[in-house]
Chain A
């Protein structure tokens, strides 16, 4: 089991700060494979990292959380990945008992009721399976980028992930712009999620995302109906930042929904 010390990890982060994404990916694969995987949710960034990693090591691992509410286009892309790269994305599912209890108690579309219900839904459908997937890893790749959100500018390319048991979190595209992501996709003919062609700016669950017209606030592509919701980026889901989990703890602490929702 390879674990980095806090000091080592952040000094490495500074060393790799000036190096291209490929070097970061290559470092992580050398050190951690097969105990490193890409958290794949069908975003453009995920496809860039997957392509990049595959060129370095075709055995690269990727996992996806199938929340049960995803778009067909995302499943189609998953299949394309299998065809083109020969990579079987490891799909993890939520606990059926938890979801059954939640749906029985609050209905299948509870997310539209109130922020606390939506966050409960995120927790059971997405966060818990994610945590389970990460618990078997020493490191993971995310597609987080600094420009996605003005409060996210201190993301480092290599971090210790205190939200997930101090494994290493690798963010190779931290300093990439959206243009660079799409240029890479075009140049290397990387398959991408067709939802982007329908003006989606963010890929997530079907009930919670929608297309964003040019000029519209990208945040309106996610959870647009919510009032008094935590201010969030709305692009790449903040679950990967750990920020989501901190917000979740704060909101669910106030709300009574947690125990009932997850009751077995």
Chain B
């Protein structure tokens, strides 16, 4: 027993070193911009760069649009599958897992050929419709996580009884969906939403190939041309990811607290 405990500590310490050292390295590097002293100069340069603000803002907006489309698409579907079409569950689940099977670059490659400016549905013809296509591509990326989160939430409530109660009280289908079902799976939707946010905010492949001014391509451009700013950006990106995961945890805990109360 004692021996295995030592082994466990060794595994844990090696793991910790591997994960912490690059963060320290990155942070230290990001402070080196001014010669001979540590300073936050790189952060100042990055945060005042108009392109940083523009691309970060664009990606935040994209993430919000993605979350809205994703929720509107996934929640009614999961509800309907649970309530009326349990037989189709395997098919829908398979579809939601497809984006894990197909790399993002494949999906966007298909879009570029299928929706180019001379096709039947020229979505890439102008900037606004390309934005929409990018949001759709992000929805596919988020689909496995979003669906799984919502589906788990949906299974923990009694969809049938809630729907029946709503119908007896004379509510329409839409009222039931938006005023009864949505609030009941709020926590699941929120955790799906923040996970989506974490995935979308720094996404590179799709934004770059669809030629949209998102945060991912901006990061790549800075990385190719600057020395210290990329490290500062990496630390910022890490903190954004950390914030998203932290919020998911907090939201999840809120649920269990409410249950016990």
Is A bound to B?
Answer: no
Which residues of B are at the interface with A, using a C-beta cutoff of 8 A?
none
